Amino acid sequence: MRYGNRKKILVTGGAGFLGSHLCERLLEQGNEVLCVDNFFTGTRRNVAHLLDHQDFELLRHDVTFPLYVEIDEIYNLACPASPVHYQFDPVQTTKTSVLGAINMLGLAKRTKSRILQASTSEVYGDPEIHPQPENYWGRVNPIGYRSCYDEGKRCAETLFFDYFRQHKLPIKVVRIFNTYGPKMHPNDGRVVSNLIMQALRGADITLYGDGLQTRSFCYVDDLVDAIIRMMNAPETVVGPINIGNPEEFTIRQLAEAVIKITNSKSKVVFKPLPPDDPRQRKPDISNAVHLLDWKPSTSLADGLKKTVEYFSAL
Protein backbone atom coordinates (compact mmCIF):
# COMPACT_ATOMS: atom_id res chain seq x y z
CA MET A 1 0.00 0.00 0.00
CA ARG A 2 2.87 2.40 0.74
CA TYR A 3 4.68 4.18 -2.10
CA GLY A 4 7.98 5.37 -0.64
CA ASN A 5 7.12 7.49 2.40
CA ARG A 6 3.57 8.07 1.14
CA LYS A 7 0.87 6.50 3.30
CA LYS A 8 -2.88 6.07 3.11
CA ILE A 9 -4.15 7.40 6.43
CA LEU A 10 -7.60 7.13 7.98
CA VAL A 11 -8.72 9.96 10.26
CA THR A 12 -11.96 9.24 12.15
CA GLY A 13 -13.73 12.40 13.24
CA GLY A 14 -11.81 14.03 10.41
CA ALA A 15 -14.37 16.78 9.75
CA GLY A 16 -14.27 17.94 13.36
CA PHE A 17 -12.19 20.68 14.93
CA LEU A 18 -9.01 18.68 15.55
CA GLY A 19 -9.56 16.19 12.75
CA SER A 20 -9.80 18.79 10.00
CA HIS A 21 -6.51 20.41 11.05
CA LEU A 22 -4.90 16.97 11.16
CA CYS A 23 -6.18 16.12 7.66
CA GLU A 24 -4.67 19.34 6.30
CA ARG A 25 -1.28 18.63 7.84
CA LEU A 26 -1.18 15.01 6.65
CA LEU A 27 -2.00 16.11 3.09
CA GLU A 28 0.73 18.76 3.24
CA GLN A 29 3.15 15.95 4.09
CA GLY A 30 2.21 14.11 0.87
CA ASN A 31 -0.09 11.41 2.24
CA GLU A 32 -3.45 10.12 1.04
CA VAL A 33 -6.15 10.90 3.59
CA LEU A 34 -9.47 9.16 4.11
CA CYS A 35 -11.59 11.42 6.33
CA VAL A 36 -14.45 9.61 8.09
CA ASP A 37 -17.15 11.48 10.01
CA ASN A 38 -20.85 11.08 10.84
CA PHE A 39 -21.22 14.90 11.03
CA PHE A 40 -22.75 14.94 14.52
CA THR A 41 -20.31 17.67 15.58
CA GLY A 42 -18.03 17.82 12.53
CA THR A 43 -19.06 19.77 9.42
CA ARG A 44 -18.32 19.58 5.71
CA ARG A 45 -17.39 23.27 5.94
CA ASN A 46 -14.26 22.34 7.94
CA VAL A 47 -12.92 20.25 5.05
CA ALA A 48 -14.67 21.89 2.07
CA HIS A 49 -11.38 23.36 0.84
CA LEU A 50 -9.89 19.84 0.73
CA LEU A 51 -12.62 18.18 -1.37
CA ASP A 52 -10.88 18.89 -4.68
CA HIS A 53 -7.52 17.63 -3.43
CA GLN A 54 -6.58 14.51 -5.41
CA ASP A 55 -5.35 12.72 -2.27
CA PHE A 56 -8.36 13.50 -0.05
CA GLU A 57 -11.52 11.43 0.32
CA LEU A 58 -14.51 12.19 2.58
CA LEU A 59 -16.77 9.38 3.78
CA ARG A 60 -19.89 9.75 5.92
CA HIS A 61 -19.72 6.88 8.39
CA ASP A 62 -20.40 6.22 12.08
CA VAL A 63 -17.53 4.38 13.78
CA THR A 64 -19.97 2.42 15.97
CA PHE A 65 -20.35 0.30 12.81
CA PRO A 66 -17.44 -1.64 11.24
CA LEU A 67 -15.52 -0.06 8.37
CA TYR A 68 -13.87 -2.06 5.59
CA VAL A 69 -11.08 -0.12 3.91
CA GLU A 70 -7.39 -0.59 3.17
CA ILE A 71 -5.11 1.79 5.02
CA ASP A 72 -1.63 2.12 6.57
CA GLU A 73 -2.38 4.21 9.66
CA ILE A 74 -5.41 5.19 11.74
CA TYR A 75 -5.91 8.31 13.84
CA ASN A 76 -8.98 7.60 15.97
CA LEU A 77 -10.39 11.02 16.89
CA ALA A 78 -14.12 10.26 16.57
CA CYS A 79 -16.12 11.35 19.62
CA PRO A 80 -17.94 14.53 20.67
CA ALA A 81 -15.52 16.30 23.00
CA SER A 82 -17.47 19.16 24.60
CA PRO A 83 -19.96 18.72 27.47
CA VAL A 84 -22.82 20.24 25.45
CA HIS A 85 -22.34 17.68 22.69
CA TYR A 86 -21.37 14.56 24.61
CA GLN A 87 -24.19 15.03 27.14
CA PHE A 88 -26.79 15.48 24.37
CA ASP A 89 -26.87 11.69 23.81
CA PRO A 90 -24.71 10.16 26.54
CA VAL A 91 -25.42 6.55 25.54
CA GLN A 92 -24.25 7.27 21.98
CA THR A 93 -21.18 9.04 23.37
CA THR A 94 -20.15 5.92 25.29
CA LYS A 95 -20.86 3.75 22.25
CA THR A 96 -18.72 6.00 20.07
CA SER A 97 -15.74 5.67 22.40
CA VAL A 98 -16.10 1.96 23.13
CA LEU A 99 -17.56 0.45 19.95
CA GLY A 100 -15.57 2.92 17.88
CA ALA A 101 -12.37 1.72 19.54
CA ILE A 102 -13.32 -1.94 19.00
CA ASN A 103 -14.10 -1.37 15.31
CA MET A 104 -10.98 0.68 14.60
CA LEU A 105 -8.74 -1.74 16.50
CA GLY A 106 -10.27 -4.59 14.49
CA LEU A 107 -9.54 -2.71 11.28
CA ALA A 108 -5.97 -2.03 12.40
CA LYS A 109 -5.49 -5.71 13.26
CA ARG A 110 -6.75 -6.85 9.83
CA THR A 111 -4.69 -4.32 7.86
CA LYS A 112 -1.66 -4.51 10.19
CA SER A 113 -1.86 -0.75 10.64
CA ARG A 114 -0.43 1.46 13.33
CA ILE A 115 -3.29 3.11 15.26
CA LEU A 116 -3.39 6.19 17.49
CA GLN A 117 -6.10 6.85 20.07
CA ALA A 118 -6.95 10.47 20.87
CA SER A 119 -7.68 10.12 24.57
CA THR A 120 -8.26 13.01 26.94
CA SER A 121 -7.24 14.68 30.17
CA GLU A 122 -10.77 13.83 31.33
CA VAL A 123 -9.46 10.35 32.22
CA TYR A 124 -7.93 12.07 35.28
CA GLY A 125 -11.34 13.36 36.40
CA ASP A 126 -11.14 15.94 39.21
CA PRO A 127 -7.49 15.26 40.05
CA GLU A 128 -5.89 15.06 43.50
CA ILE A 129 -2.39 15.33 41.96
CA HIS A 130 -1.19 18.51 40.26
CA PRO A 131 0.09 18.65 37.57
CA GLN A 132 -1.17 15.32 36.25
CA PRO A 133 1.47 12.73 35.21
CA GLU A 134 0.54 9.77 33.01
CA ASN A 135 1.00 7.28 35.87
CA TYR A 136 -1.79 8.95 37.88
CA TRP A 137 -4.92 6.77 37.66
CA GLY A 138 -7.39 9.59 38.13
CA ARG A 139 -10.41 10.45 40.26
CA VAL A 140 -13.47 9.94 38.08
CA ASN A 141 -17.14 9.75 39.06
CA PRO A 142 -18.41 6.65 37.19
CA ILE A 143 -22.10 7.66 37.40
CA GLY A 144 -21.99 11.42 36.86
CA TYR A 145 -23.06 13.65 33.98
CA ARG A 146 -19.56 13.60 32.47
CA SER A 147 -19.11 9.84 32.88
CA CYS A 148 -20.26 8.97 29.36
CA TYR A 149 -17.20 10.77 28.04
CA ASP A 150 -14.72 10.19 30.88
CA GLU A 151 -15.41 6.47 31.31
CA GLY A 152 -15.88 5.90 27.57
CA LYS A 153 -12.38 7.27 26.93
CA ARG A 154 -10.94 5.27 29.85
CA CYS A 155 -12.49 2.08 28.46
CA ALA A 156 -11.10 2.89 25.00
CA GLU A 157 -7.61 3.11 26.52
CA THR A 158 -8.18 -0.28 28.17
CA LEU A 159 -9.12 -1.80 24.81
CA PHE A 160 -6.07 -0.32 23.11
CA PHE A 161 -3.69 -1.75 25.66
CA ASP A 162 -5.42 -5.15 25.64
CA TYR A 163 -5.04 -5.30 21.84
CA PHE A 164 -1.40 -4.28 22.31
CA ARG A 165 -0.75 -7.05 24.83
CA GLN A 166 -2.99 -9.74 23.33
CA HIS A 167 -2.49 -9.14 19.59
CA LYS A 168 0.85 -7.25 19.54
CA LEU A 169 -0.92 -4.40 17.73
CA PRO A 170 1.24 -1.27 17.23
CA ILE A 171 -0.76 1.29 19.23
CA LYS A 172 -0.24 4.89 20.29
CA VAL A 173 -2.24 6.70 22.99
CA VAL A 174 -2.17 10.45 23.66
CA ARG A 175 -4.11 12.28 26.35
CA ILE A 176 -5.16 15.65 25.00
CA PHE A 177 -5.58 18.62 27.33
CA ASN A 178 -7.74 21.66 26.47
CA THR A 179 -7.16 22.58 22.84
CA TYR A 180 -8.45 25.64 21.02
CA GLY A 181 -8.15 27.41 17.70
CA PRO A 182 -9.92 28.10 14.39
CA LYS A 183 -12.70 25.66 13.37
CA MET A 184 -13.94 25.17 16.90
CA HIS A 185 -17.73 24.82 16.90
CA PRO A 186 -19.11 28.22 18.00
CA ASN A 187 -21.78 26.61 20.19
CA ASP A 188 -19.86 23.67 21.61
CA GLY A 189 -19.98 24.95 25.19
CA ARG A 190 -16.20 24.85 25.63
CA VAL A 191 -14.82 27.70 27.66
CA VAL A 192 -12.70 29.33 24.91
CA SER A 193 -15.45 29.35 22.27
CA ASN A 194 -18.07 30.36 24.87
CA LEU A 195 -16.13 33.38 26.07
CA ILE A 196 -15.14 34.53 22.58
CA MET A 197 -18.69 34.29 21.22
CA GLN A 198 -20.12 36.11 24.24
CA ALA A 199 -17.51 38.86 23.94
CA LEU A 200 -18.07 39.32 20.20
CA ARG A 201 -21.83 39.56 20.72
CA GLY A 202 -21.47 41.97 23.62
CA ALA A 203 -23.32 39.52 25.85
CA ASP A 204 -22.49 38.84 29.49
CA ILE A 205 -19.33 36.78 29.98
CA THR A 206 -20.42 33.71 31.94
CA LEU A 207 -18.04 32.24 34.50
CA TYR A 208 -18.92 29.27 36.69
CA GLY A 209 -18.15 29.05 40.37
CA ASP A 210 -15.64 31.72 41.40
CA GLY A 211 -13.80 31.55 38.06
CA LEU A 212 -10.60 30.57 39.86
CA GLN A 213 -10.57 27.01 38.54
CA THR A 214 -7.58 26.55 36.25
CA ARG A 215 -7.04 25.12 32.78
CA SER A 216 -4.09 24.81 30.42
CA PHE A 217 -4.80 25.78 26.81
CA CYS A 218 -2.90 24.33 23.85
CA TYR A 219 -3.19 25.90 20.39
CA VAL A 220 -4.35 23.44 17.73
CA ASP A 221 -1.26 23.71 15.49
CA ASP A 222 0.98 22.68 18.39
CA LEU A 223 -1.30 19.79 19.24
CA VAL A 224 -1.41 18.44 15.67
CA ASP A 225 2.38 18.54 15.57
CA ALA A 226 2.51 16.45 18.76
CA ILE A 227 0.02 13.87 17.51
CA ILE A 228 1.94 13.31 14.26
CA ARG A 229 5.22 13.07 16.17
CA MET A 230 3.64 10.42 18.40
CA MET A 231 2.40 8.40 15.42
CA ASN A 232 5.86 8.51 13.82
CA ALA A 233 7.77 7.73 17.02
CA PRO A 234 9.38 4.28 17.39
CA GLU A 235 6.98 1.40 18.14
CA THR A 236 8.40 1.22 21.66
CA VAL A 237 6.84 4.64 22.36
CA VAL A 238 3.29 3.50 23.10
CA GLY A 239 2.04 5.99 25.68
CA PRO A 240 -0.14 7.17 27.13
CA ILE A 241 1.54 10.55 26.69
CA ASN A 242 0.09 13.87 27.84
CA ILE A 243 -0.23 16.47 25.08
CA GLY A 244 -1.03 20.01 26.15
CA ASN A 245 0.36 23.34 27.26
CA PRO A 246 1.63 23.32 30.86
CA GLU A 247 1.03 27.06 31.25
CA GLU A 248 -1.85 27.36 33.72
CA PHE A 249 -4.50 30.09 33.71
CA THR A 250 -7.60 30.72 35.78
CA ILE A 251 -10.84 31.01 33.84
CA ARG A 252 -11.01 34.63 35.05
CA GLN A 253 -7.62 35.33 33.42
CA LEU A 254 -8.85 33.74 30.20
CA ALA A 255 -11.98 35.92 30.26
CA GLU A 256 -9.89 39.06 30.81
CA ALA A 257 -7.64 38.13 27.88
CA VAL A 258 -10.62 37.55 25.57
CA ILE A 259 -12.26 40.85 26.59
CA LYS A 260 -9.00 42.69 25.88
CA ILE A 261 -8.44 41.09 22.46
CA THR A 262 -12.04 41.61 21.32
CA ASN A 263 -12.25 45.11 22.85
CA SER A 264 -15.60 43.99 24.23
CA LYS A 265 -17.85 45.90 26.62
CA SER A 266 -19.23 42.65 28.04
CA LYS A 267 -19.66 42.28 31.79
CA VAL A 268 -18.57 39.21 33.74
CA VAL A 269 -21.33 37.31 35.57
CA PHE A 270 -21.02 34.26 37.80
CA LYS A 271 -23.17 31.12 37.81
CA PRO A 272 -23.09 27.90 39.90
CA LEU A 273 -20.36 25.39 39.10
CA PRO A 274 -21.61 22.41 37.01
CA PRO A 275 -21.43 18.92 38.59
CA ASP A 276 -18.04 17.15 38.47
CA ASP A 277 -16.32 20.19 36.97
CA PRO A 278 -12.60 19.79 37.81
CA ARG A 279 -10.99 22.54 39.88
CA GLN A 280 -7.64 22.32 38.17
CA ARG A 281 -6.14 20.74 35.10
CA LYS A 282 -2.50 20.97 34.03
CA PRO A 283 -0.43 18.39 32.11
CA ASP A 284 2.94 17.10 33.10
CA ILE A 285 4.50 16.94 29.60
CA SER A 286 7.90 15.56 30.62
CA ASN A 287 7.35 12.43 28.52
CA ALA A 288 6.33 14.44 25.45
CA VAL A 289 9.44 16.60 25.79
CA HIS A 290 11.74 13.61 26.30
CA LEU A 291 10.22 11.01 23.95
CA LEU A 292 8.78 13.22 21.18
CA ASP A 293 11.12 16.23 21.41
CA TRP A 294 7.97 18.33 21.59
CA LYS A 295 6.65 21.26 23.54
CA PRO A 296 4.07 23.89 22.57
CA SER A 297 5.35 27.11 21.03
CA THR A 298 2.20 29.26 20.63
CA SER A 299 1.42 31.69 23.45
CA LEU A 300 -2.14 32.03 24.70
CA ALA A 301 -2.26 35.65 23.49
CA ASP A 302 -1.20 34.73 19.94
CA GLY A 303 -3.49 31.69 19.79
CA LEU A 304 -6.48 33.65 21.05
CA LYS A 305 -5.92 36.37 18.43
CA LYS A 306 -6.07 33.79 15.62
CA THR A 307 -9.13 32.15 17.16
CA VAL A 308 -10.95 35.46 17.58
CA GLU A 309 -10.21 36.29 13.91
CA TYR A 310 -11.84 33.00 12.89
CA PHE A 311 -14.96 33.54 14.99
CA SER A 312 -15.23 37.18 13.88
CA ALA A 313 -15.40 36.02 10.25
CA LEU A 314 -18.21 33.50 10.83
User: Among this protein's residues, is 149 annotated catalytic?
Assistant: yes
Residue 3 has pLDDT above 70, yes or no: no
| Predicted pLDDT of residue 275 | 72
Q: How far is CA 46 from the centre of its chain?
A: 15
Pick the catalytic residue from 75, 86, 149, 219: 149
Q: Which helix (H) or strand (E) holds 153?
A: helix 147-167
pLDDT digits (tens, 9 = 90+) for 85-98: 777 788 989 999 99
Q: What is the pLDDT of residue 234?
A: 96
Q: What pLDDT is stored for residue 82 in this prediction?
A: 64
Question: What pLDDT is stored for residue 39 in this prediction?
Answer: 93
Selection from 112, 95, 132 nearest residue 243 by Cα:
132
Phi and psi at residue 175, to the nearest 5° = -110, 110
Residue 150: pLDDT over 70? yes
> Which domains, ranges and CATH numbers included, belong to the chain?
8-180+218-246+279-296 (3.40.50.720)
SS3 13: coil
Q: Over the stretch 189-243, which tens digit does the pLDDT of each residue have?
A: 788 998 999 999 988 888 888 888 888 899 999 999 999 999 999 999 999 999 9
The whole-angstrom separation of Cα 125 and Cα 108 is: 29
Residue 219, by phi and psi: left (phi above 0), alpha (psi -120 to 50) or beta?
beta
Q: What is the mean pLDDT of residues 122-148?
A: 90
What's the whole-model pTM score? 0.92
* pLDDT of 2 higher than 60: no
What is the distance between the alpha carbons of residues 30 and 191, in angstroms, rounded to a whole number?
Answer: 35
pLDDT per position as a tens digit, 54-69: 999 999 999 999 999 9
Q: What is the mean pLDDT of residues 128-144?
A: 91
Three-point CA angle 131, 137, 140, nearest 5°: 95
> Which pLDDT score is estimated for 218?
95
pLDDT in tens, 33-56: 999 999 988 899 999 999 999 999
Q: Under a CB-based contact definition with an 8 Å cutoff, are residues 156 and 200 in contact? A: no
